[in-house]
């Protein structure tokens, strides 16, 4: 659930400095890792890889929280019969990343369980709820709420809703060009 993520040095008011990272993984290697845990998905493996990187980063800083970090993972709610239509149809899952688990295989297994639970919870919520709620809040009001959250330092008073956003977006399935230049990579970026 939101606001149950552990408080870390990543938490805090939104500031001018931004941190964003991305990487390119060999799909064949990711698929090979998926076979190590029965029923694990490609997304489970990507989350486990990110969780391992986050765990290492927090250990290097000697600030790994006892509770697992929580990721917000955007997921498509687009029905198969409207595949390819315009507009965003997304929701979100909150996934505990098992950063408190040392063994990588056990971490992958725990993440697999956590994503199954997240999917069940997501299915209980209306399919387009995230987008529907976003449409109800006027842009100016959302901006004011964000400024208020930062100005009164709510981030220092309550646990953060999440620690990180992890998105694993399938890129275009055909070659794309812009002004004669080939698109080499498509990397997702979540909201601030």
pLDDT digits (tens, 9 = 90+) for 76-131: 666 666 555 555 666 778 899 999 999 999 999 999 999 988 777 655 454 445 44
Q: What is the CA radius of gyration of the chain?
A: 18
Contacts by residues 24-32 (CB-CB < 8 Å, ≥ 24 positions apart): 24/185, 25/49
Per residue in 145-185, pLDDT (tens digit) is 666 666 666 656 677 788 888 887 777 778 999 899 998 88
Residue 131 has a pLDDT of 47
Alpha carbon 69 to chain centroid, angstroms: 11
Query: Domain total for the chain?
Result: 1
Do the domain assignments include residue 177?
A: yes
Domain presence at residue 93: yes
Do the domain assignments include residue 10?
no
Domain with 76, as residue range(s), is 27-182
For residue 18, name the pLDDT band (cuts at 50, 70, 90): confident
Which of 46-50, 69-73, 172-176 has the least mean pLDDT?
A: 172-176
Look at residue 21 and tell me if it is in a domain. Answer: no
In a domain, 1, yes or no: no
Question: Does residue 17 lie within any of the structural domains?
Answer: no
Residue 5 within a domain: no
Q: What is the pLDDT of residue 130?
A: 47
What is the model's pLDDT at position 136? Answer: 47
Q: Determine, yes or no, domain membership for 4.
A: no
Higher pLDDT, 183 or 132: 183
Q: Tell me the average pLDDT across 31-48.
A: 92
Which pLDDT score is estimated for 128?
A: 47
- Classify the C-alpha dihedral 42-166-2-9 as positive or negative: positive
10 has a pLDDT exceeding 60:
yes
**pLDDT confidence of residue 48:** 96
pTM of the model: 0.76
Calpha distance 54→8 (Å, rounded): 12
């Amino acid at each position: 659930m939101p606001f149950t993520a552990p408080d870390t040095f990543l938490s805090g008011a939104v500031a001018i400095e931004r941190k964003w990272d991305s990487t390119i993984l060999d799909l064949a290697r990711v698929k090979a890792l998926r076979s190590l845990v029965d029923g694990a998905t490609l997304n489970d493996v990507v989350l486990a890889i990110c969780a391992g990187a986050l765990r290492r980063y927090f250990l290097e800083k000697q600030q790994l929280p006892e509770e697992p970090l929580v990721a917000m993972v955007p997921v498509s709610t687009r029905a198969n019969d409207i595949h390819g239509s315009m507009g965003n149809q997304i929701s979100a899952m909150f996934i505990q990343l098992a950063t408190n688990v040392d063994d990588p295989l056990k971490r992958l297994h725990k993440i697999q369980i956590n994503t199954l639970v997240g999917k069940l919870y997501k299915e209980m919520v209306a399919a387009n709820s995230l987008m529907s709620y976003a449409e109800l809040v006027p842009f100016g009001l959302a901006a004011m709420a964000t400024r208020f959250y930062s100005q009164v330092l709510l981030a220092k008073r309550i646990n953060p809703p999440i620690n990180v956003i992890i998105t694993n977006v399938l890129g275009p399935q055909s070659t794309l060009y812009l002004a004669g230049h080939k698109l080499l990579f498509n990397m997702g970026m979540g909201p601030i």
